[in-house]
Structure 1
Amino acid sequence: MPRFAANLTMMFTEHEFLDRFAAAKKAGFDAVEYLFPYDQPPEAIAERLRAQGLTQALFNLPPGNWEAGDRGLAALPDRAEEFRASIDTALRYAEATGVGRVHVMSGLASRQDVTALTAYRDSLRRVCDAAGAQGLDVVIEPINTRDMPGYFLDDFSFAADLIAELGLPNLKLQFDIYHRQILHGDVLMGLREMAPIIGHVQIAAVPDRHEPGTGELDDARILRELDALGYEGFVGCEYRPAGRTEDGLDWMRAFA
């Protein structure tokens, strides 16, 4: 049975952020993830995790200035110093929350730009070295350019090839089913081919990014495939509820 993690950036937004931990636990989740924790002190988040008995599954490194349009720093050669500082920030939060993996966003750049590609490789080596010293995995996620135009990492095969090329033991693939379907389709075959390098999975219905089971894919079959493949990691519920979060959780209860 999949281990579901509520994405608190998208789910339970009826509540203030720190109150979403209790709401997730009450709804039946044992783990949580979110995009960025940096608006809250790490100690405050750690206290909510402890109080609710929740596991922190994942969060992202600081992305730069999100409000100004930044979507990560790793492939931006002129932001290398800022990227290095973002690693230190993320690792402080990782230590406080006990998270086992962090996601590195590449940023907006062209893969045809050699300087961006070099910066990205260098950034991944740097963050994997620092995170590895803390026993953490690093995950990279291809994101579709319909939702995020200009995103550097927009191809699953490229991501898999890069992981193989770099040979970093704690560098893994974040396989988001929603992004995979939009980018390439062939979700089940992609899972089968890439299972050995997958470090985290996320799910949302395609195309509207609502609850699993409400879109064009047979999400229940995909989740069963994860079980058949022996995947033991978390499945992050990175979807936007169509209504009140708690009212749309029947899909998850079917796996209880």
Structure 2
Amino acid sequence: MPRFAANLSMMYTELPFLDRFAAAARDGFAAVEYLFPYDWPAHELTARLQAHGLQQVLFNAPPGQWDAGERGLACLPGREAEFQDSVRRALDYAAALDCPRIHLMAGLLPAGHTREQLRPTYIDNLRWAASQAAAAGRDVLIEPINTRDIPGYFLNRQDEAHAIVQAVGAPNLKVQMDLYHCQIVEGDVATKLRQYLPTGCVGHLQIAGVPERHEPSVGELNYAYLFHVIDTVAAECGWQGWVGCEYRPRAGTLEGLGWLRDMASKQQS
């Protein structure tokens, strides 16, 4: 069975954020991820992790002006200094939380710009960030995101992300492969897992049902099959990453965890 991390930005939203750590541990999760830690002092988050025996496995670097609609800085010309400050701040939190990886959101295409025009800025920023992260013993990740959820997002496809990783050439720059986004944009998810996991360039997986982004047991993807694919490929190639549960529960987080309880029961039987 894959190793699952609860996404505390989307799950357990019936509770205050700092109470979600205890709930995730209670429900059997050994790790957590979330979008952003910056509204809380790092020592508070560290205390929650330690108190409940949880690992922090992922969070995002500051994305610019989120409330104003910005979704990352990495591809934006003229924002390099702000991007570098965001990476430094994320690395400080990663050190405090003992988090091995940080997601660097690419950003939205500015009006009048093409992806090809922005690609050099994106690559230069990622190369700088990877160097800084390597010195701190961290990985940095890029994630293809579908343009239905985030219209105009710079990075949308798995092959594009892996081409960027190759162009940057840093061993600690990896792809965050979200199967929800992958299915919406391009499909053929099982084949892509078999293609990309053995490369060593996938640092993290995420899941959600398609199309509503609810539990993985709901929707058009057969996650029982995909989890078997992940287990099989991981056993063959030695992939040891986490699978983040980045979905919105339909009717309460605990009520929607039957899929996880069923998996655990089958593994024990």
Structural mapping, 1:157-176, within 5 Å = 157-176=159-178
Shift of 1:174: 0.7
List structure 1 segments (4+ residues) > 3 angstroms apart after TM superposition. none
Q: Which amino acid aligns with 1:245?
A: T
1:144 pairs with one of 146, 155, 175: 146
Equivalent position SS for 2:79: helix
Shift of 1:163: 1.0
Counterparts of 1:72-91 in structure 2, within 5 Å, are: 72-91=72-91
Alpha-carbon offset, residue 114 of structure 1? 4.3
Partner of residue 254, structure 1 = 262
Amino acid at match of 2:28: G
Map of 1:32 onto structure 2: 32
Count of equivalent residues: 256
- 1:135 equivalent among 134, 137, 144: 137
CA offset at residue 115 of structure 1? 4.2
Cα offset for 1:27? 1.0
Other structure's SS at 2:263 match: coil
Q: Give the conservation status (yes or no) of the 8 Å contact 1:77–1:115.
A: no
Task: Kindly state the Cα deviation for residue 213 of structure 1 after the two structures are TM-superposed.
Answer: 1.4
- Corresponding residue for residue 153 of structure 1: 155
Aligned-pair CA distance for 1:253: 1.3
Q: Is the 8 A contact 2:115 2:154 kept in 1?
A: no
Secondary structure in 2 matching 1:212: coil
Shift of 1:78: 1.7
Give unmatched runs, 5+ long, in structure 2: 265-269
Which of 170, 177, 180 in structure 1 is aligned with 2:179?
177
Whether the 8 Å CA contact 2:72–2:108 is kept in 1: the answer is yes
TM-score, structure 1 as length reference: 0.98
Map of 1:51 onto structure 2: 51
SS in 2 for 1:229: helix
C-alpha displacement of 1:113: 4.4
In the TM superposition, what whole-angstrom CA distance separates every residue of 1:111-155 from its partner, at most 9, and x where no partner exists?
734442111001100110011111111111000000000000112
Say which of 220, 225, 228 aligns to 1:221.
225
Aligned residues: percent identity? 53
What amino acid is the match of 1:251? W
Q: Any conservation in 2 of the 1:175–1:198 contact (CA below 8 Å)? A: yes
Paired position in structure 2 for 1:243: 251
- Please give the alpha-carbon distance, in whole angstroms, between the structure 2 residues aligned to 1:156 and 1:69: 24
Aligned counterparts of 1:173 and 1:253: Cα–Cα separation in 2: 28
Q: How large is the Cα RMSD of the aligned pairs?
A: 1.1
From 120, 127, 130, the equivalent of 1:118 is 120
Structure 1 residues 33-78: Cα deviation after superposition (integer angstroms, max 9, x where no partner): 0011111111111110011110001000000111000000000112
**Within 5 A, what are the aligned runs for 1:179-194?**
179-194=181-196
1:182-206 residue CA offsets vs partner (Å, 9 max, x unmatched): 0000001111111121110000000
Displacement, 1:165?
Answer: 2.0
- Higher mean Cα deviation, 3-12 or 158-167? 158-167
d(CA) in 1 for partners of 2:116, 2:142: 19
Q: 156-165 or 7-16: which moved more?
A: 156-165
Distance 1:130 1:255 in 2: 39
Pick which of 175-184 and 165-174 moved more.
Answer: 165-174
CA contact (8 A) 1:204 1:237 kept: yes
2 CA distance for matches of 1:155 and 1:214? Answer: 23
Alignment partners' CA distance in 1, 2:116 and 2:221 = 36
Residues 123, 167 of structure 2: 8 Å contact kept:
no
